C-alpha cells in the first residue's frame, strides 16, 4: 500500500475516528494482525473457566474437549463471517445493522449488545481483579479498580494501541499456557482423566453451547477491529485469520480448563488461584503467572469497552445529530462504560462462576437471530454492497424502522425459548430432548430462513460497479443523522 495512504494514521497513536467511514487513504494493516488480536482475546482465564464448566456440569474430559471444539468451530465461523464485513464497508459492526433494522430500529439489537459489553467487562474484571490484587497485595477490590482503569485508558487511545496490546498479550499468553501445560502433563494423571468415557447427549450439547456462545458473543463487534484494513483485502484472509486466532486461542484455554477441572474433581472456587497454584510454589513464577492472567484479560476487556463505545454512539446518532466524536468524547463514553462495568463487578464478584455461566448461555438468545439476519442480508440479499451514506439517513434507502427485520428478530428470540435450558428459564421442550439445549441452533437457522423469505423482494440493488456503495462517487458515511 502506498505510504501516503497511511498519512493520517502515522501522525500519532491516538485514534481520531469513531463510527464514521474509514476512507481508503487511512486504511492499513494485514489480516495476520487479526489473528494475534483474536488469539490473545481468547487465550485467557475467562475461557479457561468456560471450558471447566463443561466438566463441572457433569461431562467427562474427553467428550468435553470434542464438544468444546465443535462449538468453537461453528460459533467461530459465524463470528468470522462478520469480521469479513469490516474491510468491505470500513465501518464498525453494528452500523451495518441499520441496513437490516433501519437507522433507528438498529437501536434494539444495540441495546442488547451494550448490555453484553458491560456484562463481559464486569465478569472479566472480577477474574483480572483477583490477579491484580495478588500482584499488588492490595486485595480483590483494588485489583478490580486498577484493572478497569487500565482497560479504559487503552480503549480511549483506540485502534492502534488495541492491536499492539493484542500482539504482546499473545506472546505472554503462549509462554504462560505452555508452561502450565507442561506442568499439567508432568503432574496430572492425564491418561486416567482422558480414559474416562461416559457420553451424555444433553451435556455434550450444553458444552457445545458454552463454546458456541463464547464465539457468537464476539459477533457484534468483530468488524470493529478489521475496518481499517485495506478495502482490497481478500475476505477469505480476514475470515481465516479471525477464525483461526479465535478458535485456536479459545480451544487451547477451554481445553486446559476442562482438563484442570477433571484433575481437581470439578470443584468450584477461586478460579484464578487454582490456575496459579498449578504453576508451582516459586514466588517469581507465581508473580509472573498472576501478571499473565491480568494482562491476558486486558485485550478482551478493551475490546468489550471499545465495542460498547461504538454501539452507544451508534444508537444515539440514530435519533439525534452528533458532531465528530473525537478522542476527548470517546474518553467520556469509555469512562461511563468503565464505571458501570466496575460497579457490577464489585457487586457480583461473590457469585461469579454461577452468574457468568448463566449470563453466557442466556446471552445467546439475543445474538443468534441478529447474526442470522445480518449475515443473510449482507451476503445473500445485498451481495456485500451497502449504500454507506444511507446508513445515516432515517429518511433514505433503509428507512428509520424496518419491521421485517424487527419482526424476524423478535420471532428469532421467541422461537428459542421452548429449547432454552438455563437457570433463568427452561423451555417446555428441553425435557423431551433429554435436557439438551439446542436453542442457539434454532436461533440461527429459523430467523435466517424467515428473514430471507420476508426481505428478498424488498432489497433494491445498490447502484455502482463491482464495489457498489464504496465507489468514489458515493458520499462517505457522515456521523450526523438527519
pLDDT of residue 461: 56
Say if CB 272 and CB 131 are below 8 A apart: yes
pLDDT of residue 462: 59
pLDDT of residue 460: 60
Smallest CA-to-CA distance from 413 within 443, 387, 383, 433 is with 443
Please give the grid coordinates belonging to residue 2: 502506498
CA separation, residue 101 to residues 79, 149, 237 (Å) = 19, 35, 28
pLDDT of residue 334: 93
Domains detected in the chain: 33-360 (1.10.4160.10)
Say if CB 281 and CB 442 are below 8 A apart: no
**Average pLDDT by stretches of 10, the chain with 482 residues:** 42 82 90 94 90 90 96 96 94 92 94 85 85 85 93 93 94 93 90 88 89 91 94 95 97 94 70 71 80 90 92 89 82 93 83 63 83 95 90 91 95 94 85 84 95 81 47 40 30
- Write the CB contacts of 184 (distance below 8 Å, at least 6 apart in sequence): 190, 256, 259, 260, 263, 278
Say if CB 230 and CB 95 are below 8 A apart: no
User: How many residues are present in the chain?
Assistant: 482
Amino acid at each position: 500500500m502506498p505510504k501516503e495512504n497511511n498519512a493520517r494514521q502515522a501522525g500519532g497513536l491516538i485514534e481520531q475516528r469513531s463510527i464514521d467511514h474509514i476512507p481508503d487513504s487511512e486504511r492499513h494493516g494485514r489480516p495476520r494482525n487479526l489473528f494475534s488480536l483474536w488469539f490473545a482475546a481468547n487465550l485467557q482465564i475467562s475461557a479457561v473457566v468456560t471450558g471447566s464448566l463443561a466438566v463441572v456440569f457433569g461431562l467427562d474430559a474427553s467428550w468435553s474437549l470434542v464438544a468444546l471444539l465443535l462449538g468453537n468451530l461453528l460459533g467461530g465461523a459465524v463470528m468470522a463471517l462478520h469480521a469479513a464485513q469490516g474491510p468491505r464497508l470500513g465501518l464498525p459492526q453494528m452500523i451495518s445493522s441499520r441496513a437490516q433494522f433501519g437507522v433507528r430500529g438498529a437501536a434494539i439489537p444495540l441495546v442488547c449488545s451494550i448490555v453484553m459489553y458491560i456484562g463481559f467487562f464486569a465478569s472479566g474484571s472480577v477474574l483480572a481483579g483477583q490477579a491484580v490484587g495478588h500482584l499488588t497485595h492490595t486485595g480483590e477490590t483494588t485489583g478490580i479498580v486498577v484493572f478497569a482503569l487500565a482497560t479504559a485508558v487503552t480503549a480511549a487511545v483506540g485502534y492502534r494501541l488495541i492491536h499492539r496490546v493484542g500482539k504482546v498479550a499473545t506472546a505472554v499468553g503462549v509462554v504462560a499456557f505452555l508452561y502450565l501445560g507442561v506442568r499439567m502433563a508432568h503432574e496430572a494423571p492425564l491418561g486416567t482423566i482422558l480414559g474416562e468415557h461416559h457420553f451424555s447427549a444433553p451435556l455434550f450439547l450444553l458444552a457445545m453451547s458454552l463454546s458456541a456462545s463464547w464465539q457468537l458473543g464476539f459477533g457484534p463487534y468483530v468488524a470493529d477491529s478489521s475496518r481499517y484494513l485495506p478495502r482490497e483485502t481478500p475476505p477469505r484472509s480476514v475470515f481465516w485469520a479471525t477464525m483461526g486466532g479465535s478458535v485456536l486461542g479459545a480451544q487451547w484455554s477451554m481445553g486446559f480448563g476442562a482438563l484442570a477441572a477433571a484433575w481437581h474433581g470439578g470443584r468450584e472456587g477461586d478460579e484464578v488461584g487454582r490456575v496459579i497454584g498449578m504453576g508451582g510454589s516459586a514466588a517469581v513464577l507465581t508473580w509472573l503467572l498472576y501478571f499473565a492472567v491480568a494482562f491476558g484479560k486486558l485485550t478482551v476487556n478493551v475490546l468489550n469497552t471499545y465495542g460498547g463505545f461504538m454501539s452507544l454512539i451508534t444508537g444515539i446518532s440514530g435519533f439525534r445529530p452528533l458532531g465528530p466524536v473525537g478522542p476527548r468524547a470517546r474518553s467520556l463514553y469509555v469512562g461511563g462504560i468503565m464505571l458501570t462495568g466496575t460497579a457490577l463487578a464489585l457487586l457480583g464478584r461473590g457469585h461469579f462462576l454461577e452468574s457468568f455461566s448463566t449470563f453466557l448461555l442466556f446471552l445467546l438468545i439475543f445474538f443468534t437471530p441478529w447474526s442470522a439476519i445480518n449475515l443473510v442480508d449482507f451476503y445473500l440479499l445485498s451481495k456485500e454492497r451497502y449504500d454507506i451514506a444511507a446508513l445515516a439517513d432515517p429518511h433514505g434507502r433503509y428507512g428509520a424502522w424496518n419491521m421485517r427485520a424487527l419482526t424476524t428478530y423478535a420471532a428469532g428470540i421467541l422461537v428459542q425459548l421452548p429449547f432454552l435450558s438455563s437457570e433463568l428459564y427452561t423451555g417446555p421442550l428441553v425435557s423431551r430432548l433429554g435436557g439438551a439445549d439446542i436453542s442457539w441452533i434454532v436461533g440461527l437457522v429459523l430467523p435466517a430462513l424467515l428473514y430471507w423469505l420476508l426481505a428478498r423482494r424488498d432489497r433494491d440493488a445498490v447502484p455502482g460497479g463491482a464495489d457498489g456503495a464504496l465507489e468514489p462517487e458515493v458520499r462517505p458515511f457522515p456521523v450526523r443523522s438527519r
